[in-house]
Structure 1
Amino acid sequence: MTGARLAADVGGTNTRLGLARDGVLLADTVQSYRNDGCSGFAEVMDRYLQGAAPEGVAEVAIAIAGPVTGSTARLTNRDWDFDAAALSQHLNGAQVHLLNDLAALGQACPHLGAECLDKVIAPAGDTGGDGQRLVAGIGTGFNLSPVLQAGGQVQCLNVEYGHVSLPLDVAEHLRSHVPEADAFATVENLFSGRGYAAVRAHFPEDDTGAQNFQAFYANLLALLARNLMLAFLPAQGVYFAGAVARSILASPARAVFAERFQQPFELDARITAPVHVILDDAAALKGCAALRLPA
C-alpha cells in the first residue's frame, strides 16, 4: 500500500481508521477501535497498520475531537496528546497533518452524496460547486466549521463558537419555559448533551412531555440556526452533526424546526440555505481523505 494515506477519526471513546488513495477513502479498509486500554493514538494506529498496511503509509491525516494548535492537539474527553512531528518520526518520515473533527466534516461536505445525508430542507436550486457551507456539531459539546470552496479547493476556518454568548432571541424563547435561563450563558451551555438534558428536565416524563420538549428544543435550534445564517451566509448548505442534532431533526419536531427556520428575514428575504443532517459515520474519514496537504 505504498503511497497510501492513513485517515483517522479520533473521538473520546472510539478511533476509526481507513486507507485512502487519490483523495478517496477505501471503504473496505475502515476499522474502528475502542480507546479504552490504549496508551495513546500511536498504539491504536500501529495495531491498525500492522494488518492493513504493514509496509507503511506516505501520509497521515488525523481528525481530532478537540482543539488543534498548529502541529499539536489534545482530545477534549481523553488524556491523549498529538504531536505531528513525533508521529512523523514514528512513521519513518510520513507527512502528518492534524485537524479538528468538524474541519474534517467540512472537508467532506462537498463529497457527500444523498445517501450520506438526511435532507431536512431541500435546496431551492443547484448548490454544488463553489460557495460557503457551515457544519454545526451538537453532541457532547458545540462548535462550528465554516467551509469555503473556491477553485476546487476547500478551506475550513477555525472558530470556537460554543463559547459565544447565547443570542438574545434564543435566550428569550428559553426563558418562556425555563425560569433559570440565565444559567445558559453560552451557546454550548444550551446546545450540547448536558444542555439538552437540562432543558428536558423541565418537561414531564410522559409521551406528551417528550413531544412538547422536542418541539420546544427544535424552536431553539431553529432560532440559533437563523443567527448562524446571518453570521456565515452558508448558501450552499448547513450541515448538522452530532447526537443531539440527529435526535431532534430525526423526530417529528423537524417540521417545527423547518417552519421556524424558513421564516423570511427582515434584512433580506432571499437569504436561504438547504439544511442537512450528516448520517455517514465515515464522513470525517472522507474529509481526511479529500484534504489537500501542504506541499
Structure 2
Amino acid sequence: MSSTIPHLRNSGSIEYEALSLVADIGATNTRFALAVSGSNELIQPLTLLTSNFTSILSACREYLNHIADLHPSRACIAVACPISGDHVSLTNNSWSFSIEEVQRELNVGRLMVVNDFKALAAGVPHLAAEEIVQIGDGTPIPERTISVIGPGTGLGVATVVQHETGRIILEGEGGHVCFAPGNEREIDILRLLSRQFSRVSTERILSGDGIKTLFQTLAKIDGVAVPDLTTSSIVERAISGSDSRCLEVIDIFCGVLGSFAGDLAMTLNPQGGVYIGGGIIPRIAKLLKDSPFRARFEGKGRLASFIKNVPTYLIMTDHTALTGAASLLLDDLKG
C-alpha cells in the first residue's frame, strides 16, 4: 500500500515563494515533491530511478523540468549518508556533491541537506492511521520518544525525542552495529559470514543485499546448490510460498529485525512506539505479521516486561521522508 500525494491542479493559486522543494535521495529511488510553505502539504510528486542519473543535479534538473514554470524558493534534500560539512558522498551510491554548489544551481534562498532517516523520523508523527500497520500489542504514550528503523538498500536508524517546546531528532549509523545472532541457525550464519567479512554488521542481514546474502549463506550451510536469485525474486518466491528456502530467508530476516528493534527499544525506551520503514517492508508486511518478529522484539529474558507495552508499527507509505523534509523546513522557517 502506498498513499497518494495529490498533484497541483491550479499552479496559479499558490505563490512561488510559498513553494519548497523536498527530495529523498536513496540508492534505488530518488523522490521529489513540492511542499507548500507553512504546512506539510505535498504536491507534484515524482519518483525517479537513481541509476538513471549521473549526479544529484541532473536528477534535480529533471524534476524542475517536470514542474515546468514553478520555482521553489527553499529546499530540503534528504540523503542516505552522514552529513558533515559542505561535501556530501552517498554511502550506497556513487553520487557526491557540494551543498553550496547545489544551492546555487537550484537558485534557492535556503537549502537544507539532512540524513534520510532524520527526515523519515521527522515525518513519522504526521503519518495517518491508514498509513501504518501495528504488529503485536502495545499502546503508545503520546508525546514520548519514537524510534524509527528502516531496512532498504542499507539499514537506517533514528529517534525522535519529543518535549514541551519541540523535538530533538537523534540520527546516527545504528544499522552498522554488530549482528547479534538469536539462535543456533543464526550463529551458523554469523560464523560463515565472519569468514567473508572482518566485521559482520546488522546491515549485512537487514537490507536488500542482506536478503540475498542470507539466501546464499543458508545454501552454503546446508551444502546445496541454489540459483543466483535477485533480492526481488527471493521476496516474490517467499510471498507466493513457492520456495521453502526463500520463506526461511524472510522468516530469519524478520526475526533478526525483531531482535534488533527490541534492542533499540531497550536502549532508548521509545514509549511512543518503534516504527519500521524502508522499501522492503510494505512488500513483506503479511509475512512479517506472521513471523517471529514480535516474539523476538519482546524476548528480552528477565527484562521482557520493560518493552512489552512498546508498540511496533510498519510504515506502509513511501513519502514519509518527504513529509519529514517539509516538516524540517517548517521548523527551520519558524526558527
Q: Same fold (TM over 0.5)?
A: yes
3-state SS of paired residue (1:195)? helix
User: Given the two structures, how large is their TM-score scaled by the length of structure 2?
Assistant: 0.76
The alpha carbon displacement at 1:288 in A equals 0.7
The corresponding residue for 2:321 is: 284
CA contact (8 A) 2:32 2:45 kept: yes
Q: Closer, same or farther in 2 for the Cα pair 1:42/1:165, shift >3 Å?
A: same
Distance 1:196 1:214 in 2: 7
Q: Does 1:75 align with 2:90?
A: yes
CA contact (8 A) 2:150 2:278 kept: yes
Could you tell me which of 260, 269, 294 is aligned with 1:224? 260
Q: Does 1:174 align with 2:186?
A: yes
Distance 1:159 1:107 in 2: 14
CA contact (8 A) 2:149 2:261 kept: no
Distance 1:248 1:51 in 2: 32
Segment of structure 1 superposing worse, 275-284 or 18-27: 18-27
Could you tell me which of 147, 151, 157 is aligned with 2:164? 151
The corresponding residue for 2:4 is: none
Q: Does 1:32 align with 2:47?
A: yes
CA contact (8 A) 2:92 2:153 kept: no
Could you tell me which of 266, 270, 290 is aligned with 2:302? 266
1:1-295 equivalence runs, <5 A:
1-21=16-36, 22-27=38-43, 29-52=44-67, 54=69, 56-124=71-139, 126-128=140-142, 130-151=143-164, 153-167=166-180, 169-170=181-182, 174-175=186-187, 180=192, 182-183=194-195, 185-201=200-216, 202=218, 207-251=243-287, 254-263=290-299, 265-267=301-303, 269-271=305-307, 272-291=309-328, 292-293=331-332, 295=335
Structure in which a larger fraction of residues adopt helix:
2
3-state SS of paired residue (2:153)? coil
The alpha carbon displacement at 1:5 in A equals 1.0
Q: Closer, same or farther in 2 for the Cα pair 1:246/1:176, shift >3 Å?
A: farther
The alpha carbon displacement at 1:174 in A equals 0.7
CA contact (8 A) 2:161 2:167 kept: yes
Q: Closer, same or farther in 2 for the Cα pair 1:197/1:247, shift >3 Å?
A: farther
Letter in 1 for 2:148: V
Q: Closer, same or farther in 2 for the Cα pair 1:47/1:185, shift >3 Å?
A: closer
Q: Closer, same or farther in 2 for the Cα pair 1:37/1:166, shift >3 Å?
A: closer
Distance 1:252 1:157 in 2: 27
The alpha carbon displacement at 1:56 in A equals 2.4
3-state SS of paired residue (1:105)? helix
Letter in 1 for 2:206: F
CA contact (8 A) 1:218 1:253 kept: no
Listed one character per residue, the Cα deviations across residues 109-154 of structure 1 (whole Å, up to 9, x for unaligned) are 1000112112223442x543x2211111112221211221223633
The alpha carbon displacement at 1:251 in A equals 0.7
Distance 2:214 2:53 in 1: 35
Gapped regions of structure 2 (runs ≥ 5)? 1-15, 227-241
Letter in 2 for 1:57: P
Distance 1:293 1:70 in 2: 18
Segment of structure 1 superposing worse, 96-105 or 189-198: 189-198
Q: How many residues align?
A: 291
3-state SS of paired residue (2:17)? coil
Distance 2:178 2:183 in 1: 10
CA contact (8 A) 2:138 2:311 kept: yes
The corresponding residue for 2:231 is: none
Letter in 1 for 2:332: L
3-state SS of paired residue (2:253)? helix
CA contact (8 A) 1:217 1:248 kept: no
Distance 1:278 1:193 in 2: 17
3-state SS of paired residue (1:289)? helix
Q: Closer, same or farther in 2 for the Cα pair 1:92/1:261, shift >3 Å?
A: closer
CA contact (8 A) 1:170 1:224 kept: no
Gapped regions of structure 1 (runs ≥ 5)? none
3-state SS of paired residue (1:77)? coil
Distance 1:252 1:143 in 2: 18
How well do the aligned residues superpose, as a CA RMSD in angstroms? 2.8
Segment of structure 1 superposing worse, 71-80 or 282-291: 71-80
Q: Closer, same or farther in 2 for the Cα pair 1:225/1:13, shift >3 Å?
A: closer
Segment of structure 1 superposing worse, 235-244 or 283-292: 235-244
CA contact (8 A) 2:26 2:79 kept: yes
Distance 1:18 1:189 in 2: 31
Distance 2:57 2:275 in 1: 31
Distance 2:317 2:187 in 1: 35
